[in-house]
Structure 1
């Protein structure tokens, strides 16, 4: 009996030691990942506050920190215009994507009609192709329809590119909502539009928020499509403007670029912090349906 008790105690101690060892390794790994992620951010912020100049003058901890680069950014460049252009594209893409995806997802989730399965299969196939594979086709379409160098055209591309994936997310989330809500509302005389607007949409807030943030983030950071479809200086987005700062050998100013990058990250950071709860819920719901 005593041997059995001692054996159990040894086994329990060994198990606790293994758990502590695993916990230490996990925390070390998390610390290493955090350092890898945080250091570039600290370096960019430090470079934006350091002395004006190229990459050689950048430092994560500047000796004489100042806001000179931020003043230069808005006084000597068209950063304000680029920022507004990017904001217009991101907000337009977000609104268009959320509206179309929520409506279409609700239709596919709640209504039965001819061609429904074929439509879902088509959407599923379309979401497998990356946007850049259709870049040449999009360019030719915009050239023929006179949409080149148009911020609104860039919004249309952004909405269309993400729509198949967003429709599946919305449909999957709506499938989890009980149909008894629709039936009870219909008994009270509510139509489809009233049910969608007053019952379904409020319940889909986590997924709507998730789609809205992703739709805002992609065009906010995108470089490929704007570089392909935008041509004039007044239509540039922030990504194009910042790239010009470090690609032009005659105006290579990395510290000003760093200041622009910090400003670019501010809205995304605020949105993720404020809407973190909804983002986690929406992402988890989408993962379950995938």
Structure 2
């Protein structure tokens, strides 16, 4: 018995050590960037983690300097991310609801196609998408990014959403149909309220993807005033003549703010959805 307690104690201690190491590995770089954004000068290098003096000059410079359009880039990214998230969630929910609740010809083929397409990296289709957008005169527009981000959402989220919708009892649908509810009314009044845990996950993933994307946004957007934050920050430090890394760190901190707020806000709804989304008999 004592040997088992000692073994369990060793495992528990080892688990805590690993968790502490992982926590330090995750927190230390983020803390360095945050403090670096408050450090005077242009270099991120410092002999100490905490700078001798703190300044918010870099944050002010981001929005006042004529060399950068950070405020414009920030609003562009926010608009693209929010619209892509809303449209992408809507398309994913419709797709997953159809394959979860209905049986139709070609259903298995459609699921297999979505599964196979989801295995390929998105950048493999960038050239084809670029040529397609060029034919429709959508290059250098935010609409092009929104369409591509939203249209690609069902490829990554359909199976996750379908798996969750399969857990919702079909007896709820049948009871609603007896009362005369249509499929759309069932979807709006029953399926969506019970799907809040899944919706929170989809909202986070669909928002974060466009918010931090650089490759596709860099390829599509050409005008400086239409850039997203990721493209704009890259331009800050891409040339040898511009090495203002403390300004870059300030921009990186501002990028993390919406993601953090979104996660903290949706976390409450995640817990609420898990507790209130049960089927009551």
Aligned: 1:74 with 2:74: no
SS at match of 2:222: coil
Correspondence for 1:180: 171
Correspondence for 1:193: 184
Higher helix share: 1
C-alpha distance after superposition, 1:42-66 (max 9, x if no partner) = 1101110011213446963111101
Identify unmatched segments of 5+ residues in structure 2: 275-281
8 Å CA contact 1:44, 1:258 repeated in 2: yes
Q: 1:59 to 1:243 in 2, by over 3 A?
A: farther
Pick aligned residue for 2:119 from 110, 128, 131: 128
Identify unmatched segments of 5+ residues in structure 1: 1-11, 284-290
SS at match of 2:155: helix
Give matches, 1:72-221, under 5 Å. Answer: 72-76=61-65, 77-221=68-212
TM-score with structure 2 setting the length: 0.92
TM-score with structure 1 setting the length: 0.89
2:138 and 2:273 map into 1 onto residues whose CA distance is: 34
1:57 and 1:235 map into 2 onto residues whose CA distance is: 35
Q: For the aligned residues, what is the CA RMSD?
A: 1.8
2:238 and 2:46 map into 1 onto residues whose CA distance is: 17
C-alpha distance after superposition, 1:63-121 (max 9, x if no partner) = 11011111111111211000001001100110011111111111111112221111111
How far has the Cα of 1:248 moved from its partner?
1.9
Correspondence for 1:233: 224
Greater gyration radius: 1
Q: 1:59 to 1:216 in 2, by over 3 A?
A: farther
SS at match of 1:231: coil
1:282 and 1:226 map into 2 onto residues whose CA distance is: 34
